[in-house]
Chain A
Amino acid sequence: MDDQRLAKQLAKTGNLMDLTYQNDWWDADNWDGPIEAGVMAKPYAAYLESLTPEQHQFLHRRMRLFSILLPELERWLQSWDLGCSFKAVYTEARRRIYTHLQEPTPEQTDWITALIAEDDQHLPMEKQVLRAQAIPMLSALLTQDDRQTLADIAAQGMAQGVLKMAQVDTIPPVAV
């Protein structure tokens, strides 16, 4: 880490993280090994060593799948106008989707493989045919029970929001 450069960046924008938007900052990072720090990281490092190549491959593939599906899920749920319930509904929905895809059917497996391959091509969004199927796919994965649960969570969030506002309204008005 070039401290002179960091100091210049601080003077310029006050935020060191702006360096990540400069390509040459990334060029300087060519470390090809572990980065773990802290005594508490020891069990995690040992865990990583214990994984088989197949398990690593499985984790990588699942991460790739969900790094495509989760932004689509978020985009879809944003169209539901959930207001203050959004985060709770999104959190539950992603759990449900995760569960349903733990053991994908052969058809789903083929689709997932093709979806990741399409993502690897870095096509413009409008040319990603399989990604465009992601929301219908997510919709098909959610069961009636899932939908009811999400609706209940949304309703609870709304109710809590209303009750909170009502509580604010009980404060006596300030005399003017």
Chain B
Amino acid sequence: MVSPVRIKTTDGQFLEGQIVPMDEGHLYDVEAFWQPILTAVGQLDPVWKWEYKLRQSQRQDSYETYSLDVDNLSQGLLFVETQQHRSQQSQRFPLVYVEMLVTAPWNRVDIEQPPWLRGVGSLLLLFSRQRSVELGYDGRVALHSLPSAEGFYHTQGMPDYGPDPDKDGLVYFEYSALPV
């Protein structure tokens, strides 16, 4: 499954990209391009555990990993679980749970001045809602935000349900179903 998208650079140019299922090539890219020094062969993914996530998505249907590719390079990654999580609202509808959402180092506005791309987070979040629709979950999506990113999810209009003691106190956000 390939999903064509358009994304904006900070200098206002629009670039064509695509969201694709992550594969071995992406694993190499993240190790090679997201770090200053390439990790030795056989020691891939020592901290971020993307290799583990990729294997999990290959073994279990309920896990999916995606990469946002622009100019043949991974610009952001998304790891979702699609069958086991339920809404924390009164009616426990199934939803897409974002296990992890990250952008490449050069797209972080707080670090890079100027960053390369804007909107990687909102694009991957939009894609997770699209997956939710495709799975019959009506756009329901949930995640736990890192403390520094809570403002982002507020700007995305994602309802905030407060800190979750089961997830290291990270704040739980959940989108309800899209209006009919």
Question: A residues within 8 Å of B by Cβ?
Answer: 1-4, 6-7, 10, 15-17, 19-21, 26, 29-45, 47-48, 51, 55-56, 58-60, 62-64, 66-68, 70-71, 73-74, 91, 94-95, 98, 102, 120, 122
Contact = CB atoms under 8 A, between A and B. Distances in A.
B133 interface: yes
A76 B145 CA distance: 42
Dominant SS at the A interface? helix
B143 A91 contact: no
Contact of A43 (B47, B152, B156, B167): B47
B3 A17 contact: yes
B33 A62 contact: yes
B61 interface: no
A116 B128 CA distance: 33
Interface residues of B, number: 75
Dominant SS at the B interface? mixed
Nearest to A59: B105
Interface of B: 3-8, 11, 13, 19, 24-25, 28, 32-36, 38, 47-49, 53, 70-73, 79, 98-106, 108-112, 116, 118-123, 125-127, 129-130, 133, 139, 143-146, 148-149, 151-153, 155-158, 167-168, 170, 175, 178-180
A25 to B, nearest CB: 9
Nearest to B168: A39
Contacts of A26: 8, 118-119
Contacts of A63: 33, 73, 104, 106, 116
A26 B156 CA distance: 12
A19 B153 CA distance: 18
Contacts of B155: 30-31
A74 B72 CA distance: 9
A114 B127 CA distance: 36
